[in-house]
Structure 1
Amino acid sequence: MKGPLFYSKILLFGEYGIIKDSKGLSIPYNFFKGALKTDENPSEQAKKSNEGLKAFAEYLEALQNDGLVSFDLNSLNEDIDNGMYFDSSIPQGYGIGSSGALVAAIYDKYAHDKITVLENLTREKLLKLKAIFGKMESFFHGKSSGLDPLNSYLSLPILINSKDNIESTILPSQNKGGKGAVFLLDSGMTGETAPMVQLFMEKMKHEGFRNIIKDKFIKHTDACVEHFLNGDIKSLFGHVKQLSNVVLHHFKPMIPKQFHSLWKKGIETGDYYLKLCGSGGGGYILGFTEDIDKARTALSGHKLEVVYNF
């Protein structure tokens, strides 16, 4: 048995900001993927995943009482008893939606009256899906916006205008021969979402930090989303630089220590600009550059994966 594939995602813009109603842009990243599977001779990893699914199924049973969504729990539990697990190449703790893909796969296979990609996806349906996924994914993170599973489930770029206003969108065509690029930089360590979000919420209790979020962080995030979607690369890079600077000065704990100087170097030289990919603390770091060759030279010794070309 092997279920349909669900892909990882990259939140290009909006990390932390979307908690406070900034714009956001999330895109599917099909380099990594996962599917529900059953094997005759499961590996240790498969057994561990199967154990995790047992706990998740119990959580979903309790979740049904909210009346937001219901599942065919008999089939789910039967499949789990038969050794079902989530076979995934999506690295965990890397900020690219490993739990989101699992949530999407479970909803797709076991939810009653599910909303499908083939329907006319109205804003109401998207918001309902996001709410369901948020509740489901809270099992993994404590609190979830539901965006990662939504992206994985639909396999479409999602534009977040505000908490209550989301829509699927179309990205500008990539210029495969272009020198400009968005890339992933591997920090070589995993990060945990819950403690990072907790830290952000603590910082939000201080008025000075709240003002920085509103006047700088959200302002530059919103501008980045608009310029990216409009293909205005020159303006985009101006705001990406500002955003990178704000993160370096005000989100330092979310940046792995050994990357502080590289982050600063990028802003000073203009060879590349780094930003958080997801909640930070490890995993991938997102990079933007107008010249990928320059960025590769400046970041030699680090693994870069290009995800989008300008």
Structure 2
Amino acid sequence: MKGPLFYSKILLFGEYGIIKDSKGLSIPYNFFKGALKTDENLSEQASESNKSLKDFVGYLRNLEQQEQGLVSFDLQALENDVAKGMYFDSSIPQGYGIGSSGALVAAIYDKYATDKITVLENLTREKLLKLKEIFGKMESFFHGKSSGLDPLNSYLSLPILINSKDNIESTSIPSQNKEGKGAVFLLDSGMTGETAPMVQIFMEKMKQEGFRNMIKNQFVKHTDACVEDFLNGNIKSLFGNLKQLSHVALDHFKPMIPSKFHKLWRQGIETNDYYLKLCGSGGGGYILGFTQDFERAKKALDGHKLEVVYHF
């Protein structure tokens, strides 16, 4: 059995901000992917996945009852398939902020939801919001509260523009310039991050008035500007706003940045060779980088694993 493939995603802009209604921009990243598979002889990893799916079935059963009318599944078929050894075969690293649980949620919805909204329909804003709500409730099983954005991205395989909590749309991004010197890249921190504790730290900080003001007046402001600049291809303005955003993260989101990267983070801001920002909730996993000269950034970040996502 080879199910349809579901891809990882990268939230280019909007981490933490979208909790507080900033804009956001999320793009599919086809380098990593996953699919549902069935096997009688499960490897250790596949066996872990299968066990997790067993628990997920129970969770979905409760969800169906608690949220009547929101979503229903062919739970019998799902249960039978899990009993036969179904698992999620995925190359998406877990705890890396690129949507490993999102791809799984999308795959389960795609195969087992009984009255599903399909990708081929005219996706009105109402349908997108309903999908996002369903996916948010489904993904909460994996890491507490979920916005539903990762599974939505994986399910649609389209860039998604978040204007606000209640206003999302699929969008197109400027074509890549394969010959361009600039790039968006992933920097591997070499350690995994946990979403729930990071979000917890953020929520605690949000109780302080000073932090709330900083989020509104600096973080959200620069995030919104970056989204606009990126979509409109205003590269010069984009890098000005990215520098500010990178600075705000270093000043106010230190716990989310692995400590061994604090120096590299500051170095990017001081030299303008590259700017780093959080990829997802941080704490480990990937760090997102932006540069106008990838060769220069590569030299400056020598010894680190970089993966280009998009060329300017």
Could you say which residue in structure 2 is the equivalent of 1:141? 143
Deviations 1:15-59, CA, capped at 9 Å, x for gaps:
000000000000000000000001242211111110000000100
1:59 counterpart letter in structure 2: Y
Q: 2:100 aligns with which of 95, 98, 101?
A: 98
- Tell me how far apart the structure 2 counterparts of residues 117 and 234 of structure 1 sit (CA, whole Å): 35
Could you say which residue in structure 2 is the equivalent of 1:287? 289
Q: 2:84 aligns with which of 82, 85, 97?
A: 82
2:38 counterpart letter in structure 1: T
Could you say which residue in structure 2 is the equivalent of 1:72? 74
- Tell me how far apart the structure 1 counterparts of residues 201 and 92 of structure 2 sit (CA, whole Å): 25
Deviations 1:190-211, CA, capped at 9 Å, x for gaps:
0000000000000000000000
2:236 counterpart letter in structure 1: K
- Is structure 2 residue 304 aligned with structure 1 residue 270? no
Could you say which residue in structure 1 is the equivalent of 2:212? 210
1:211 counterpart letter in structure 2: N
| Structure 1 runs, 4 residues or longer, greater than 6 Å off | none
Check the 8 A contact 2:277/2:288 in 1, yes or no: yes
Deviations 1:246-280, CA, capped at 9 Å, x for gaps:
00000000000000000000000000000000000
Deviations 1:142-164, CA, capped at 9 Å, x for gaps:
10000000000000000000000
Q: Secondary structure at the match of 2:73?
A: coil
Q: 1:192 aligns with which of 190, 194, 214?
A: 194
- Tell me how far apart the structure 1 counterparts of residues 214 and 57 of structure 2 sit (CA, whole Å): 41
Between the aligned residues of both structures, percent identity stands at 83
Deviations 1:136-183, CA, capped at 9 Å, x for gaps:
000011100000000000000000000000000000010000000000
- Tell me how far apart the structure 2 counterparts of residues 307 and 137 of structure 1 sit (CA, whole Å): 25
Could you say which residue in structure 1 is the equivalent of 2:42? 42
Once the two structures are TM-superposed, the CA of residue 112 in structure 1 deviates from its matched residue by 1.0
Q: Secondary structure at the match of 1:36?
A: strand
Q: 1:181 aligns with which of 180, 183, 186?
A: 183
- Is structure 2 residue 194 aligned with structure 1 residue 227? no
- Tell me how far apart the structure 1 counterparts of residues 63 and 2 of structure 2 sit (CA, whole Å): 26
Q: Secondary structure at the match of 1:259?
A: helix
Could you say which residue in structure 1 is the equivalent of 2:160? 158
1:170 counterpart letter in structure 2: S
- Is structure 2 residue 35 aligned with structure 1 residue 58? no
1:244 counterpart letter in structure 2: S
1:208 counterpart letter in structure 2: G
* TM-score (structure 2 length as normaliser): 0.99
Correspondence 1:240-251 to 2 at 5 A: 240-251=242-253
Could you say which residue in structure 1 is the equivalent of 2:129? 127
RMSD: 0.4
- Is structure 2 residue 303 aligned with structure 1 residue 301? yes
* TM-score (structure 1 length as normaliser): 1.00
Check the 8 A contact 2:39/2:84 in 1, yes or no: no
Aligned length: 310
Could you say which residue in structure 2 is the equivalent of 1:258? 260
Could you say which residue in structure 2 is the equivalent of 1:6? 6
